[in-house]
Amino acid sequence: MTSRPAPPPTAPLPPSPPPAERQTRGSSSRAAAVLATGLLGTALLTWGSILQTPHLHGDGEKPAADLVVAALHRKLEKTESVLRGLVGLQMASQEVTLGELQRFVASLESDGRTLEGINTVGFATAASGQAPIRLLAPMDPAGRDLLGSDLWSWVRGSGEQLSREPAPKEGWLLPGRPRPGQPAFLVQILPFGTESVPASPTSPTATRWAFATLPLRDVMRAALDHPLIRLDGPVDVQLYAGDRADPAQLLYDSRNLPAAGVLPHALSHRLDIGGQRWLLLVHPLHGSAPWLPSWGAVLLLGLTTSLLAALLTREVQRRRRLAEQEGRSLGELRSQLEDSLQWLRLHRQACSLIQEGLVVTDRDGAILACNEAYVAITGYPEEELVGRNPRILNSGYQSKEFYAALWEQLLANDRWEGEIWNQRRSGEAYPVWMRMGVVRDGAGDPSHYIAALADLSVLREKDRQLEYLGFHDPLTRLPNLQMAELRLGQLCQQSQPLVVIWIELDGIKRIEESFGQAKGDQLVQVAVDRLGHFVGPADVMAQVGRNEFLIVHALDPADPTALETAHTLMAALTDSMAPGGGLDLTLSAWAGVSCFPQDSREPENLLLFAATALGQARRQGPQAVLRYSAEMTIRSRQRLAIEAHLQRAVEGGQLELLYQPQVDGQGTLLGAEALLRWRSPKFGVVSPLEFLPIAEASDLIHRIGEWVLQEACRQWQKWLQVGFEPGRLAVNLSTRQFQDPRQTVPELVQACLSRTGLAVAQLELEITESCLMPALGTREQLLTLNSMGVELAIDDFGTGFSSLSTIHKFPIHKLKIDRSFVDGVDGNPTSQSIVRATLAMAEGLGVHVLAEGVERPEELEFLLRSGCPAFQGYLFSRPLAAEAFEDLLRRGARLSPVAGSAAAVPLP
């Protein structure tokens, strides 16, 4: 078996070049192609120039004029780019300062040619037909006096009318109005800020402008001296505003001759630039020039251009490769730039809101930037601070050694914090709390310093104000209770007798509810002024509450007694007051008095005793003045104990209801009044006259009143269901129940009737005359109860402040003559007159009458003779427990009065 011959060895494939080398080769090929194309075009252009030169040599004026037009266009475009740079600066900075504008101009001057032909750049604001210049950076120092002048005053002709039309893309180009002896110039304006509202119908749509002034002599020289502009010889040039060669509209004449007239034999060009029409006349001074340059110049220019194009192509390819290698594109760079500008604006806005002053300096200490708080604290405007050293704030309070230690610690730890005294621009020295930090460069050397400072003078002034308000009333500036106790303690160190008078005004809250808090403030101030007339320099007057005042008066042997002094103060204080607005008011007040050293030698006890006496006076009635006694403390503590146990009485079932019958003249049962009693395990049977005022002073009255109505309706319905005829149930209501924020009285009654099933015709509610006061707003609730069918009776009639007109406005069904008029009525002519008048009034109003508190047969006999139809009192029956009243109902007995007996005797 023969073996197959081995195939001839194949040459290995050359390795493929790396991607970078492939890209380099590709860019070289493209550069070579560009160079070859350029050389071919140069050769053709040169050959054409040689062939066409003899034919076009006589028509040289046209290329010269075209070059002048192109040069002028190029210069105006460059000026437009400068103005757009100004607009970008304004948009990035929100409000450009003079320093920023000057730095922008300096950056353009480094170019060498950008600002050629420009005399002034700046910003103006259009408002009300004017355009005052608000920021100016003149290239010529003589132009600085133009700041604040009206930009329209610079423009000649119809510039103001032209501005009414929308601005062209490149902005407006307007002829200037030169002053006597000054050369002609142009004004180029670029409007921006289209979000603003125009100042007037005739003003441009933009309210902010960037502008530049262009002296025509400098503009033409800069335009024609450009390296890319090659004229074969000198030319004469004239520029007119408009499209006619009108000598009155002549702006520029290169001949600079007086009354030279229109340029003869010139080629004219009509231009539309900047929203304005212009006429340009150009005339070469020598013979005609060829349409194209000489073939040698064309050849040289072509070779140079081709070489530059090839090199530019190669450089573009190299930069594109670098950009691709770094993974960035032009869009990413633009996005990063926008993000950076946004963060810069955010940081600037955040710094402007910080209340602490912030300042940044360079390594030499020159201030670079600061926030608004720093400007406000130091008193220097930002323009004066930028570029200066913070040592201008040195007050001289600290020594050189202090600053040496400060800098040593700052450079060692990169931070320092402490208190330092500075000096404002006005010369005022003030303390600040300063925190300083160091920013270091890559080499670890300090590059910048940052400081934050807080004005301690403001903080300490606030502390003083808070301390003052902690011991004084903010309205009257009088000492408060804490300060009064301190001063009372100082006076108690002496041996001179003292009287402590605690006064409370009543009615200020009602006045504020009716006329507003301002009236209440004025009334309090009037009270302070009146009290101040009776307070000596050694006395103490304090405001211990909204309507409470404390007087500490030192008694001399010749002075009146403590009570006489208090009565004098009360008489002056409660006189008719007029707190403004024609409002005359008379207020009631109470006062409690304690004495040093009789009652106590301790300030705390003296204040406590005066407050205790005030509480007793408040319960006694208006204008009451009481001097403290030990029994008051006992009663006060007893009252507190009763209040604490009354809370448990409601929850523990210690309350019970008694029922006192109401009868007619024959003893027939008409109904009964439910009366509340409290059987306390600690205090025994507590009188309602003792615990009900305590309940009304707290929120317990709402719970007690609801329980009484619920229990009475339940018991009455129970008797009705078993067939008894108890008549009408009378239940008392407290005035406080009409002010319950949880529910109204009609809602409470409706709920009780619904739960117990009692018919509304069986219920009668008794109220006092105080419920009829308009200020309480009870009329609507009483009208609602009447519409429900509930009868209303006025209890203790004749002891309150009601009038016939008041009763006539309310749905009243019964009047109960108070026991004070019934007691001894048979021998008291005054009481007899009151009873007869009440019966006559009730008959006239069509309401029922019941006399309560009837205890003697003689009283009953007089009432019967006077025509009183119904009675209630011990002469007929004491209040009965539910079992005893049920027994009375079960036996169907009538109640007959018994002479000389305090209890009723049931009759079969």
Alpha-carbon distance 494 to 555, whole Å? 12
pLDDT of 754 reads 94
Alpha-carbon distance 344 to 604, whole Å? 62
**Residue 800 CB burial class (10 angstroms; 0-12, 13-18, ≥19):** middle
Alpha-carbon distance 857 to 876, whole Å? 10
Quote the DSSP letter at residue 116: T
Query: Distance of CA 123 to CAs 82, 197, 219, Å?
Result: 13, 18, 21
pLDDT of 111 reads 66
Alpha-carbon distance 609 to 594, whole Å? 6
pLDDT, tens digit, for every residue of 547-578? 899 989 888 765 667 778 888 888 777 766 54
pLDDT of 858 reads 94
Show the tokens assigned to 428.
């005022």
- Residue numbers in the chain where pLDDT is lower than 70: 1-27, 34, 45, 48-62, 64, 111-114, 128, 139-145, 156-165, 181, 194-207, 226-232, 259, 285-299, 323, 325-330, 557-560, 575-586, 774-777, 800-806, 893, 898-908
* pTM exceeds 0.85: no
pLDDT of 559 reads 65
- Give me the sheet containing 540-543, strands edge to edge: 540-543, 548-554, 498-506, 588-596, 625-627
pLDDT of 713 reads 96
Q: DSSP per residue over 50-97, as a string?
A: HHHHHHHTT--HHHHHHHHHHHHHHHHHHHHHHHHHHHHHHHHHSS--
Count Cβ neighbours within 10 Å for each residue of 870-893 and write b for 16 or more, e otherwise. bbbbbbbbebbebeebbebbeeeb
pLDDT of 232 reads 66
Question: Torsions phi, psi of 731, nearest 5?
Answer: -125, 135
pLDDT, tens digit, for every residue of 587-611? 778 899 999 988 888 989 889 889 8
Which single residue is written with the structure tokens 């050359």?
Answer: 14
Say how many C-beta atoms besides its own lie within 10 A of residue 92's C-beta. Answer: 12
- Compute the residue count for the chain: 908
pLDDT of 188 reads 85
pLDDT of 905 reads 35
pLDDT, tens digit, for every residue of 353-371? 788 899 999 999 999 999 9
